[in-house]
Amino acid sequence: MSKVNVVVIDPGHGGEDNGASYGYEDEDDFALSVSYLLRCELEKEKILAFLTRERDVFISLQDRCLFANNLPADLFVSIHCDAWHQETVSGISTHVYREGSKASFAFAKSIQNSLLSIFPNHLNRGVKKAGFYVLKNTSMPAVLVEMEFISNPETRKFLKEPENQLALARAIKDGIVKGG
């Protein structure tokens, strides 16, 4: 694989679409915060990074993909928090389109490994195949990171901590750099 020069970061949800909401916390806020930090971390590595949204606004899935596809991007990374009706469920996962490229799988594996090396006490939910719109409709390698479960009070507290948000961003950046 060649060096990554341009990354599109997609902070999941936004605006009237908060994503998952638990304990007065919204997924879209965590996604945006970590995405900002990720952009800073990538720029330290001389990697150009663009966000699909820079504030709490709704952007359609189609527009997110069009934005990415109109750039000469090497990678698309969508940032999310997972949720489940059982609040004890936890873990970190990285998703690729079920018919995704070898490059998408390589980036996903590298990002997942990097996240779990920084957070070894978190459950490894693995690299998973999915049919998410943003993974299917982007023209470059694409991954979707589920940072942890916002529905779990313990992992929600983890997600709220600024130092953990920075560590998540750094781990994702390391996975991108190693995966490329």
Residue 23 counted as domain residue? yes
For 123, list phi and psi in degrees, rounded to 5. -65, 130
Residues 6+ apart with CB under 8 A from 82: 20, 89, 91, 93, 125, 146, 147, 148, 149, 150, 151
pLDDT tens digits for range 56-75:
999 999 999 999 999 999 99
Residue 156 counted as domain residue? no
What is the tally of structural domains in the chain? 1
pLDDT tens digits for range 151-176:
999 999 999 999 999 999 999 999 99
pLDDT given for residue 85 in this prediction: 95
Q: Which CATH number goes with the domain that contains 108?
A: 3.40.630.40
pLDDT given for residue 2 in this prediction: 64
Residue 81 counted as domain residue? yes
Residue 157 counted as domain residue? no
Alpha helices in the chain (DSSP H): 27-44, 61-69, 102-118, 133-136, 153-160, 162-179
For 7, list phi and psi in degrees, rounded to 5. -125, 135
Confidence of residue 136 (pLDDT cuts 50, 70, 90): very high
Q: How does the average pLDDT of the chain come out, rounded?
A: 97
Residue 137 counted as domain residue? yes
pLDDT of residue 95 exceeding 60: yes
Q: Which two tokens stand for residue 106?
A: 């390589």
Structural domain range at position 52: 6-151+162-179
For 132, list phi and psi in degrees, rounded to 5. -55, 135
pTM of the model: 0.97
Residue 82 counted as domain residue? yes
Taking a C-beta distance cutoff of 8 angstroms, is the pair 91, 148 a contact? yes
pLDDT tens digits for range 42-55:
999 999 999 999 99
pLDDT given for residue 176 in this prediction: 98
**CA distance linking residue 149 with residue 167, whole number of Å:** 16
Q: Which two tokens stand for residue 66?
A: 């069009």
